[in-house]
């Protein structure tokens, strides 16, 4: 936790208002406002493939000539998530995050996409391009494009997903696997779980939020801590050489696909219980949606740590919501949140740094302060999420759902 002045906390997987199920107020101004309140130092633009969003990026952001683009004093890099749905042995669905060195490269990629289909209907468009072919095509455009498999364990759209993914990166990317330098954990997994996969020993493990809004309980809820830089080239070097500082994660059990289960049957279970049930739901008799923990164990072949620091913490709104017994967007929660920000600057400072004594000195209730510290120490128990249902924080007899 030393040398925090050298930290650059980045959330590089986000979306714009042009992606499905995203806030209609998700614009650059709101992203910058709330990124600063959260304590983020760098954002991805998201959705570079959408024509209107890219037009706004070009109008509102100014390049520093090194691959970073600024709105006033806040930096972005050009990023986007693309969905690939195709057949390779069976039906495959894989989401990939792209980090780009410039708007010019974004325009070249968009010209490529225009030969494959439409990209104007969604900020995360769908193409039928196999992963191996896509990476090869991107490398032919620019070797500086960074391609990161997104939320790799998600059952339906993760490269290792139980429903439509692969059993290895080699199977997914073939001859291009060496051009995949990093994977994204997703909310349902953390670095420790990914260390169990031998194939990932030489890959960087990064975390980003995949946020669909600018609210601080979504934006930056997962992030990667880089060494401070004003250069895209240096940022990518840190990823490719596994040379960044660490990651901020949520507790994986909060993820919507951590355990096996059936949402419609209100049933979930651990991998051990699922094995006893032969993967069949005891309520409806159909196959369970196999979650991340089970899938990790299925593919597990190692336990070698890469030594990277990572922290598992809940967003501050979630902690205040537990304390108040009200929803994260309620007036009472916002009142306390705003007071904390006014006193201590930004959310990450409160979550990671501010001492118990300093919180008490500013007249915050001891029960709330204890929860903030308990969160920092990773001592909040969780009922695991499953089949699209978020996990629940357990506070005595109360349960609070992550939103």
Pairwise CA distance, residues 378 & 386, whole Å: 21
d(CA 369, CA 381): 17
CA dihedral 245, 246, 247, 248 (to 10 degrees): -80
Checking if the pLDDT of 397 tops 50, the result is: no
Q: What is the largest CA-CA distance in the chain?
A: 62
Short-list 275, 255, 207, 267, CA closest to 382: 255
Confidence of residue 2 (pLDDT cuts 50, 70, 90): low
- The domain spans of the chain are 4-253, 315-401
Kindly list the distances between the CA atom of residue 19 and the CA atoms of 23, 37, 204, in Å, as whole numbers in the listed order.
9, 23, 27
Backbone angles phi, psi at 94, to 5 degrees: -135, 130
Region 29-57: mean pLDDT is 98
pLDDT, position 265: 98
Query: Of 400 and 51, which is predicted with more confidence?
Result: 51
Q: Which pLDDT value is given to residue 396?
A: 61
148, 217 Cβ separation under 8 angstroms:
no
**Rounded mean pLDDT of 246-273?**
96
The C-alpha atoms of residue 245 and residue 391 are separated, in whole angstroms, by 28
pLDDT at residue 187 above 80? yes
Taking only the tens place, the pLDDT of each residue in 356-385 is: 999 999 999 999 999 999 999 999 988 999
Cβ–Cβ < 8 Å for 68, 103: no
- What integer is the mean pLDDT of 387-395? 89
Q: Identify the residue whose tokens are 């494009």.
A: 145
- CATH no., domain 4-253: 3.20.20.140
The stretch 234-244 carries a mean pLDDT of: 97
């Amino acid at each position: 936790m030393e040398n925090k002045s050298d930290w650059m906390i980045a959330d590089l997987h986000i979306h714009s208002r042009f992606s499905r199920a995203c806030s209609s107020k998700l614009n650059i101004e709101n992203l910058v406002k709330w990124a600063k309140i959260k304590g983020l130092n760098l954002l991805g633009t998201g959705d570079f493939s959408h024509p209107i969003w890219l037009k706004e990026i070009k109008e509102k952001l100014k390049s520093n000539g090194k691959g970073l683009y600024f709105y006033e004093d806040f930096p972005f890099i050009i990023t986007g998530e693309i969905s690939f749905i195709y057949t390779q042995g069976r039906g495959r669905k894989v989401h990939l995050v792209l980090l780009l060195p410039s708007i010019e490269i974004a325009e070249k990629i968009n010209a490529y996409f225009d030969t494959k289909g439409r990209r104007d209907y969604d900020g995360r468009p769908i193409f039928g391009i196999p992963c191996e072919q896509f990476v090869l095509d991107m490398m032919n455009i620019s070797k500086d494009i960074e391609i990161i498999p997104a939320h790799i364990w998600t059952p339906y759209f993760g490269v290792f997903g139980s429903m439509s993914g692969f059993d290895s990166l080699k199977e997914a990317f073939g001859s291009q696997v060496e051009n995949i330098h990093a994977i994204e954990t997703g909310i349902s997994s953390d670095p420790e779980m990914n260390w169990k996969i031998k194939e990932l020993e030489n890959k960087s493990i990064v975390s980003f939020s995949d946020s669909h809004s600018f609210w601080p309980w979504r934006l930056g809820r997962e992030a990667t801590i880089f060494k401070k830089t004003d250069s895209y080239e240096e940022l990518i070097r840190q990823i490719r050489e596994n040379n960044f500082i660490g990651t901020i994660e949520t507790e994986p059990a909060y993820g919507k696909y951590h355990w096996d289960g059936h949402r419609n049957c209100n049933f979930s279970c651990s991998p051990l219980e699922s094995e006893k049930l032969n993967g069949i739901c005891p309520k409806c008799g159909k196959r369970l949606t196999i979650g991340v923990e089970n899938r990790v164990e299925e593919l597990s072949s190692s336990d070698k740590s890469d030594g990277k620091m990572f922290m598992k913490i809940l967003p501050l709104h979630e902690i205040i919501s537990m304390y108040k017994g009200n929803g994260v967007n309620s007036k009472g929660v916002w009142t306390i949140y705003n007071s904390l920000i006014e006193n201590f600057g930004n959310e990450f400072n409160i979550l990671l740094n501010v001492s118990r004594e300093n919180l008490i000195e500013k007249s915050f209730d001891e029960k709330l302060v204890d929860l903030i510290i308990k969160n920092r120490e990773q001592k909040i128990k969780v009922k695991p999420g499953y089949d699209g249902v978020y996990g629940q924080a357990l506070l005595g007899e109360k349960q609070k759902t992550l939103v």
